[in-house]
Amino acid sequence: MIAQVYSAIPQGYDGSIVEVEGDSNRGLPAFNLVGMANKTISESRERVRAALANSGFDFPQRKVTISLAPAELLKDGSHLDLPIALAVLVLSGQLLSQNVSNRLFVGELALDGALRPVRGIINIVEAAKQAGYAEVYLPKGNLTEATLIHGVKIFGVANLLELFLHLKGQAIISSNPNNYVVKKTQTDATKNNYPYLDDIKGQSFAKRALAIAIAGHHNLLLTGPPGTGKSLLAQAALNLLPPPTPGEQIEIAKIHSLSNHVSTEYQRRPFRAPHHTASRIAIIGGGTHIRPGEISLAHHGILFLDELPEYSRDVLESLRQPLENHEITISRAIQHTTYPANFILIATMNPCPCGYLGDPSHACTCTPTQLQNYHKRLSGPIRDRIDLTVSVNRISVEELLAGSTQHVVKNTKIDRTGFPEHNVVKNNITEAIQRQSQRYQSTGVYNGSLTSAEVTRLVHLQPSARDILHQATKRFNLSMRSYFKILKVAQTIADLEGATEVKTEHISEAVSFRECQIEH
């Protein structure tokens, strides 16, 4: 007798359908698994045995062989516990083949028969939908994020016995169709610890650059001595981002569910801040089974790299592809995977190793050689991919203390209603993003992600603005990449001001944010 139960596993950024075939023959009792199963799946034999016994089912006293097809597909994780158990139930006659036909099952079994969440559930449900399965059965813990995918009936299952009774028609589990209501997470200002612009004193030039970076999805580098507010500025960026669109929520959940069994943060944009000691694999992605790294987990959000020169050169050079193409391709001997990595890079660095070069309050103790070696840690191609570079200078004590008691504290929580600067800037950013959506007829395209051909076709300059740009290109010996980045930043400045074309003042301001201008 042959049993067939269908499941799926995450495969890179996508999902792959797996056919769980079962065969039962006479012979000494045995339970064999074949089909490129790793150790986690091989151990499912014991989990399935215990789950069946503790749920009141009989395990056949025969030679049972379970084949996971396609055999050449490398399988990882505990996703196939549930379909393996169902195949055993079909082989033993406790379920009929028609009870599991045209349905897809996934889930890890506890020893008592309960279903535990698995990673990559969005990938699995998408694969099931594309393959034409009408119903998907998965652990209840994965239900909320799974219902982000429309067009397929999704059933959240608590345990093996509950699923058995449902398949037999004795106790029906209610499905969660497209109108399933997801309880929103609390993401307002009183529920997170990230600062607002009003929390940062002074630094108007840096705040302006931050608003431009957020509005147009441009990469930003903040330089300056320690204690000038560089990290606070980067953290304040998260509260300036608009909420993700439904399509972006799915992509965020899809990436994060590959790293975590349950993803709940897809209703807000991610803010990833890996430490400079993190390995290349941790930041870029990879490993034996190619998991996404920090740059992919920052997809549709912010990647914050504090003290950029302290990261290893391998890590920094690996950022070239994602900063340009907004994706990362990771290749291994037996597989290769492409993950999205469309993030806003916000980085900080000191002007020198000791941090006090140019600071009027402290003397710099670095030698010329130390200073030269420090700046060499960032290669030219990496610097060229940063759209805006801003010097964050130390502010006076008087400016720091001015208005320090203006915020009202109620019930130990900060009253955010008195933050006018933040509200004005965020409204301007929202309007600028709306103008980009109308211009490009898409909610996912920003000025910072335009190609050179698109810039030439879609960005309209006044003749005088074009002359200023050509003069800046010659004076600072700009590369073609820098030329187009200035155009894209200028377009974002025009969008923030509601202008229909790029003017001279927009180009001039965009040039002022280039590193070459700061160095001169």
Q: Do 2-167 and 189-412 share a fold?
A: no
- Residue 6 binned pLDDT confidence (cut-offs 50, 70, 90): very high
Confirm if 127 and 14 have CB atoms less than 8 A apart.
yes
Domain 189-412 = CATH 3.90.550.10: no
Question: Residue 70: which pLDDT band, with cuts at 50, 70 and 90?
Answer: very high
d(C-alpha 446, C-alpha 345), whole Å: 14
Given the candidates 3.30.230.10, 3.40.50.970, 3.40.50.300, 3.40.50.410, the CATH classification of the domain at 2-167 is 3.30.230.10
pLDDT at 317: 93
Average pLDDT, the chain: 87
**Burial, 431: exposed, middle or buried (Cβ in 10 Å; 0-12, 13-18, 19+)?**
middle
* Interatomic CA distance for residues 216 and 434, integer angstroms: 11
Condensed to tens digits (0 to 9), the pLDDT of residues 50-62 reads 999 999 999 988 8
Residue 37: the pLDDT is: 75
Average pLDDT (258-264) is 72
Indicate if the pLDDT at residue 289 is higher than 60. Answer: yes
Please report which confidence band the pLDDT of residue 517 belongs to, taking 50, 70 and 90 as the band edges.
very low
Please, which pLDDT band fits residue 214 given cuts at 50, 70 and 90?
Answer: very high
* Tens-place pLDDT, residues 308-326: 999 999 999 999 999 999 9
pLDDT higher than threshold 80 for residue 502:
yes
Q: From CA 88, how far away is CA 431, in angstroms rounded?
A: 58
Q: Which of 479, 447, 518 lies closest to 381, judged by CA? A: 479
- pLDDT by residue (tens digit) across 378-408? 998 999 999 999 999 887 666 666 655 444 3
Percent of the chain with pLDDT over 70: 90
Q: Which residues pair with 136 in a beta bridge?
A: 104, 154
Q: What angle do CA 119, 122, 126 make, to 5 degrees?
A: 135
* pLDDT at 152 (0 to 100): 92
For 104-143, the pLDDT digits (tens) are 999 999 999 999 999 999 999 999 999 999 899 999 999 9
Q: Provide the token pair at 295.
A: 């740059």
Backbone angles phi, psi at 104, to 5 degrees: -120, 135
Each domain of the chain, given as residue ranges in start order, spans 2-167, 189-412
Q: Which helix (H) or strand (E) holds 253?
A: helix 246-257
Q: Which residue in this structure is represented by tokens 């084949």?
A: 67
Question: Which whole-number Å values give the CA distances from 232 to 54, 197, 229, 258, 416, in the listed order?
Answer: 54, 9, 5, 30, 17
Question: Tell me, what's the pLDDT at 411?
Answer: 37
Is 70 exceeded by the pLDDT of residue 177? Answer: no
Q: Please say whether the beta carbons of 118 and 139 come within 8 A.
A: yes
- Tokens 């059965």 belong to which residue? 137
Whole-number percent of the chain with pLDDT over 90: 64
